[in-house]
Amino acid sequence: MLSIMSDVMRLGVIGCGRIAQVAHFPALEKADGVEVVVVCDQSEEVARAVAGRYGIGSYVTDAAKVFENQQVEAVLIAVPDRFHRELAEAALRAGKHVLVEKPLASTVDEARQLVALQEETGLTLQVGSNKRYDPGLSFARDFVAAGRLGEVRSFHAWYRIGTIRPGVEATLFPRVFADAQVRQVEAGFKADRARYLMATHGAHIFDTLRYLLGEEVASVTVAHRDFGRDQAWSILVTLASGAIGSIDVVVDVPGDGAEGIEIFGSEGQLRVDTHFPFFRRASDVWAYNAAEGSATVPVFADTDPYERQAEAFARAVRGEAVAKPDAYDGLQAVRLIAAVGESAESGAEVRL
């Protein structure tokens, strides 16, 4: 770790692909307390183009050069999940703090290795879960944590991606620099739609569930249907407390998508409707407490969760806050993704 630190966290970004270009770099450009000093991508053309767009003085194609860079005290890893364990491990062993895109790793064993290494090094390891930095979801979490729902008894969550999403993205996203050969390789890995979609979106779903309800999942029972490119999961969830709930995940549905959760307790109920994150809009929340006899509908300014996430990471690196979600949270999400796959294949309940 660097012995001399300024108030600004000096960051190296590894991976200049789509998510980095449409989410992370625009947020990092605005984030307080963060300076990107080097970017890395296996495509020199992409690395050069991204560095040029954001006025970043250095670009490389070898991640080892980022880890060797004495200016860099922390790294953002924004590459496909099959590389997360290798790169996060190298970064931690080089004394760098790590913000790694979700999921934490490809397998439970790899995630456990990173949890152990983070504990060994004492460095910050934060998992990129931008939903935690949605102030609507934070309000809902605080409502539950304050006991205003009473005993949580049941819930229903939904995560549906609509067929109009590509058009929405084309409207909102900046031009993305890409390497055609790299895209072709990645398309091969994404061809296993069930695995790719559950890893990509399940990481969000399960982290949000644990974040909102503040407890662990005890078991899942899953029904999965494969409709070619389209996939559907219905997941019955039992929490450690004994509360029960369900999660529906469908990709794609005709038209618009939707994401949200309803939670019912002994003293109230709560509904959260979460918007496409690139609308930079906080979730809509409706929260009812029976003793008060009224509902609360908070209003928030529009927000960029990726910017808030980067600033929170910088505070964690400075020791001013605790990284959330941390490596343990990341491990729990990977365990749940694996459990869904196991239950979908066997049709049986899987206990965690």
* 324-336 tens-digit pLDDT: 999 999 999 999 9
pLDDT on residue 191: 73
pLDDT on residue 3: 36
Asked if residue 278 lies in contact with residue 165, where contact means CB atoms within 8 angstroms, the answer is: no
Dihedral of CA atoms 284, 171, 311, 285 in degrees, nearest 10, equals 0
pLDDT on residue 302: 74
pLDDT on residue 180: 81
Q: Structure tokens of 102?
A: 């979700």
d(CA 43, CA 48): 9
Asked if residue 331 lies in contact with residue 104, where contact means CB atoms within 8 angstroms, the answer is: yes
| Secondary structure class of 292 (helix, strand, coil) | coil
Q: What is the pTM of this model?
A: 0.94
pLDDT on residue 192: 84
Q: Structure tokens of 251?
A: 């990709």
pLDDT on residue 4: 41
Residue 277 preceded by cis peptide, ω within 30: no
Q: Which of 321, 280, 306 is nearest to 13 (CA)?
A: 306
109-113, long-range: CB within 8 Å, 24+ apart, which pairs? 110/84, 110/85, 110/334, 111/85, 111/327, 111/330, 111/331, 111/334, 111/335, 112/331, 113/85, 113/89
d(CA 89, CA 93): 6
Give the CA radius of gyration of the chain.
20
Q: Which of 101, 109, 132 is nearest to 13 (CA)?
A: 101
Asked if residue 77 lies in contact with residue 311, where contact means CB atoms within 8 angstroms, the answer is: no
Angle at 256 between CA 252 and CA 257, to 5 degrees: 60
Which residues, given as ranges, of the chain have pLDDT below 50? 1-5
pLDDT on residue 182: 77
Phi/psi of residue 79, nearest 5 degrees = -120, 170
For 98-119, the pLDDT digits (tens) are 999 999 999 999 999 999 999 9
